[in-house]
């Protein structure tokens, strides 16, 4: 598979250069009668492409985006209005609704991966004018999400930024509504964190609430991810929101179904942690069960193999019980200590006084995000937040 960095290739740079030259020519032509306007020279496509080509190959994806962005910015007018006029003119001519995720930049304008090189220009150099800059990012986000680019504005002046962005909650373009929830996520992956919203997420709660029943799954999913971010520092707040949104009532059956899906995704971290109040929002209470058996079928396995185990669960209740069954692998670390990691398994309804056996294979295949250390490991079971059993096994070198 082609490396992601090649999404920002010299072929794309040439398309960007083509549209820059076109917009410079249009701007120069329109300003010929205005002696007070900023003096612009024609854009030299070949010189720009050569300068980028000299360094691009050695750079990774984010480095490429930043490098190309900086090269473009050096050649843009210093006047913000003119600079943004050029950027707007470079955007794809097709309506937002007709832009497909797979569509790439062409002679009709920029979209997709090229926007990674345009958004940072606004984020890094547009902080002097929140209104113009956030308005531009709002319009750009349908061509490629600007969730990274709005964050410097929130960090610099959260009150001013949110006073502008809060109007997006009812915007007709769902890309913009999603930008409101995604761009403000306090712990958005691969992005700068927003410290003030980590400490106090309350300014975002009314806005997230207004988006919770959005007709687009894309927006609702973002709301859920935002709440999951908040849950990492304010678990009780998110648990309270879960109860409120699920039990609010007065909505259609389909809306209620969508809302429950959103809240469950929002509470995924809390559910894995066994947070009692969050579980109760879904009718999941303290389990009345007995773990009759936890059996490891292969207590000595090699890296690359799978751990095969089974459990036998007995209900001690006279009523059916909703159960969320997860398991914890207690990984051996480099320092010799065992550290547990929760893995999702299954959700069931266990009938009254029922005895049931479940089996599972957990892979120890080598992956880039986890390093395995040979030696003693262990497994335990988590049911509705309560931990049961503990069996050791040995991981060997392959």
Same domain, yes or no, for 354 and 316? yes
pLDDT recorded at residue 98: 56
CATH of the domain at 366: 2.60.40.10
Last residue of a domain, one of 249, 280, 311: 280
DSSP 145: -
Task: Say if CB 279 and CB 384 are below 8 A apart.
Answer: yes
Task: Compute and round to an integer the Cα radius of gyration of the chain.
Answer: 27
Rounded (10°) CA dihedral 150, 156, 157, 158? 60
Same domain, yes or no, for 275 and 294? no
- Name the residue range of residue 107's domain: 4-280
Angle in degrees, CA 4, 269, 356, rounded to 5: 110
| Residue 381: strand pairing partners | 327, 388
Same domain, yes or no, for 105 and 185? yes
Same domain, yes or no, for 194 and 306? no
Task: Say if CB 341 and CB 357 are below 8 A apart.
Answer: no
Query: Would you give the end-to-end CA distance of the chain in angstroms?
Result: 27
| Residue 391: strand pairing partners | 379
| Residue 375: strand pairing partners | 395
How buried is residue 246: exposed, middle or buried, by Cβ count under 10 Å (0-12/13-18/19+)?
A: middle
Same domain, yes or no, for 184 and 220? yes
pLDDT recorded at residue 94: 78
Same domain, yes or no, for 36 and 161? yes
Task: Say if CB 8 and CB 116 are below 8 A apart.
Answer: yes
DSSP 351: P
DSSP 389: E
Angle in degrees, CA 20, 22, 23, rounded to 5: 65
Neighbouring residues of 369: CB distance < 8 A, sequence distance ≥ 6 = none
pLDDT recorded at residue 217: 97
Last residue of a domain, one of 251, 280, 309: 280
CATH of the domain at 24: 1.25.40.290
Same domain, yes or no, for 91 and 179? yes
User: Length of the chain, please?
Assistant: 398
Q: Dihedral sign for Cα 256, 258, 260, 262, please.
A: negative
Q: Residue 238 and residue 260: Cα distance in Å, rounded?
A: 14
HSE-CB at 202 with a 13 A cutoff on CA atoms is: 2
| Residue 236: other Cβ atoms inside 10 A | 12
Mean pLDDT by 10 residues, the chain (398 residues): 85 97 92 64 95 96 96 96 96 69 83 95 98 97 95 98 98 96 97 97 98 97 98 98 95 96 96 93 94 96 97 97 96 96 95 96 92 97 95 95
Task: Say if CB 310 and CB 357 are below 8 A apart.
Answer: yes
Last residue of a domain, one of 258, 280, 302: 280
Same domain, yes or no, for 82 and 19? yes
Largest CA distance in the chain: 89
Neighbouring residues of 167: CB distance < 8 A, sequence distance ≥ 6 = none
Same domain, yes or no, for 238 and 371? no
Same domain, yes or no, for 96 and 232? yes
pLDDT recorded at residue 96: 61
Task: Say if CB 348 and CB 326 are below 8 A apart.
Answer: no
**Is 194 strand, coil or helix?**
coil
Same domain, yes or no, for 267 and 359? no
pLDDT recorded at residue 30: 84
Domain count, the chain: 2
Q: Residue 10 and residue 208: Cα distance in Å, rounded?
A: 40
Same domain, yes or no, for 367 and 342? yes
């Amino acid at each position: 598979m082609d490396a992601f960095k090649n999404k920002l290739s010299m072929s794309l740079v040439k398309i960007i250069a083509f549209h820059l030259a076109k917009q410079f020519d249009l701007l120069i032509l329109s300003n010929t009668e205005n002696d007070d306007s900023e003096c612009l020279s024609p854009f030299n496509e070949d010189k720009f492409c050569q300068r980028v080509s000299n360094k691009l190959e050695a750079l990774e994806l984010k480095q490429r985006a930043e490098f190309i962005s900086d090269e473009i910015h050096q050649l843009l007018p210093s006047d913000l209005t003119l600079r943004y006029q050029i950027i707007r003119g470079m955007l794809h001519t097709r309506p937002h609704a007709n832009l497909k995720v797979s569509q790439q930049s062409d002679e009709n304008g920029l979209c997709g991966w090229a926007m990674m090189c345009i958004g940072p220009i606004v984020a890094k150099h547009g902080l002097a004018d929140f209104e113009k800059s956030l308005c531009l990012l709002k319009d750009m986000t349908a061509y490629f999400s600007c969730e990274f680019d709005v964050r410097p504005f929130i960090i610099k002046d959260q009150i001013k930024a949110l006073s502008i962005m809060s109007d997006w909650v009812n915007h007709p373009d769902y890309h913009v509504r999603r930008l409101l929830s995604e761009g403000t996520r306090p712990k958005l992956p691969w992005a700068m964190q927003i410290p003030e919203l980590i400490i106090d997420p309350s300014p975002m709660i009314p806005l997230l609430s207004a988006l919770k029943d959005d007709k687009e799954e894309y927006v609702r999913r973002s709301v859920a991810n935002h709440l999951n971010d908040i849950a990492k520092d304010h678990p009780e707040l998110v648990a309270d929101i879960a109860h409120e949104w699920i039990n609010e009532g007065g909505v259609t059956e389909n809306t209620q179904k969508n809302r429950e899906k959103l809240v469950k995704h929002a509470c995924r971290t809390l559910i894995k942690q066994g947070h009692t109040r969050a579980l109760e929002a879904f009718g999941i209470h303290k389990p009345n069960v007995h773990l009759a058996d936890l059996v490891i079928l292969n207590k000595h396995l090699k890296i690359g193999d799978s751990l095969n185990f089974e459990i036998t669960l007995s209900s001690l209740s006279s009523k059916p019980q909703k159960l969320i069954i997860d398991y914890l692998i207690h990984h051996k670390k480099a320092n010799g200590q065992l550290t547990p990691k929760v893995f999702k398994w299954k959700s069931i309804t266990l009938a009254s006084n029922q005895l049931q056996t479940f089996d599972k294979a957990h892979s120890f295949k080598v992956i880039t995000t986890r390093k395995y250390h040979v030696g003693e490991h262990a497994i335990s079971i988590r049911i509705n937040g309560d931990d049961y059993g503990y069996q050791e096994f040995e991981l060997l070198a392959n």
